Amino acid sequence: MKSLDIHKSEYLKQFENQVYGRNLFRTQEEERLDAPNEECGIFGLYSDNDLDTFFSQFGLFALQHRGQEACGISVLKDGKITNMKDEGLVLDVYKDIQEPETFMGNSAIGHTRYTTAGDKKKYNFQPFFAKNEYDQIILSIAHNGNLTNAKELKAELEAEGVVFRATSDSEVILRLIQKNLDLGLRGAIRATMEKN
C-alpha cells in the first residue's frame, strides 16, 4: 500500500507547476489565447419611467464573470443619486439593500470589479461618485480599462489641490469631470476626454 502512495505522489508532482488546460491535446499557448481575458463589467440603463432595482441586478449578474471582487450601483431618481458598493458577488451586495425602493430610478450604472489598476481596497470599488458642498452626490461614473497617462493627470490635479480617495486610475476621470463641471456636464466630459 505504501508503494502505491509513493507512486501516486510521484505521479502528481508532474502536475504541480502545470496550468490545467481544458483540453489535454492543446498547447499551453493555445490555452492562454483561448482563456478568459476579462476586465471589469459595466452596466447602464435609462428609461423615462422608474425601473425596478432588479433590472440592474440582472444586468450586473449577467456580467458577474467580468469581475467577482466587488459590485456597486448608482441610481438616479428625481435628480438625486444613491450609491451602494461592497465587496463580494452581485447577489451578496444586493441582498444587503434594506430599502429596495431607494434604488429604483430612471437611470442606473453598475460595476463588477476585476482589479487591473489600483489595489483591492474598498475605496477602489465603483461606481465612483463626487459630492457637492452639501454632501449630496452630484456625479457618478463607472469605468473599465486603464488610463495610460493617469499618473501625470493625477499629479496635475493634486498640484491644483484636488484630493483623491482611491488609488484607481478611474477616479482621475471622475475628478477631471468634477473639476470642469462649470462647462456643463457634456462640456466637462468633452474636456476630460481631450486630456486622456
Whose CA is closest to 124, among 140, 133, 113? 113
Question: Is 71 in the active site?
Answer: no
Which grid cell is 176? Answer: 477631471
Q: Which three-class secondary structure state does DSSP give residue 35?
A: coil
DSSP for 75-134 reads: EEETTEEEEEEEES-HHHHHTT-S-GGGG-EEEEEEEEE--SSS-SSGGG-SSEEEE-TT
Whose CA is closest to 142, among 170, 172, 114, 161? 170
Query: 43 - beta bridge partners?
Result: 110
Q: Which among 26, 27, 35, 40 is annotated as catalytic?
A: 40
Whose CA is closest to 19, among 9, 29, 30, 28? 28
Catalytically active residues are 40
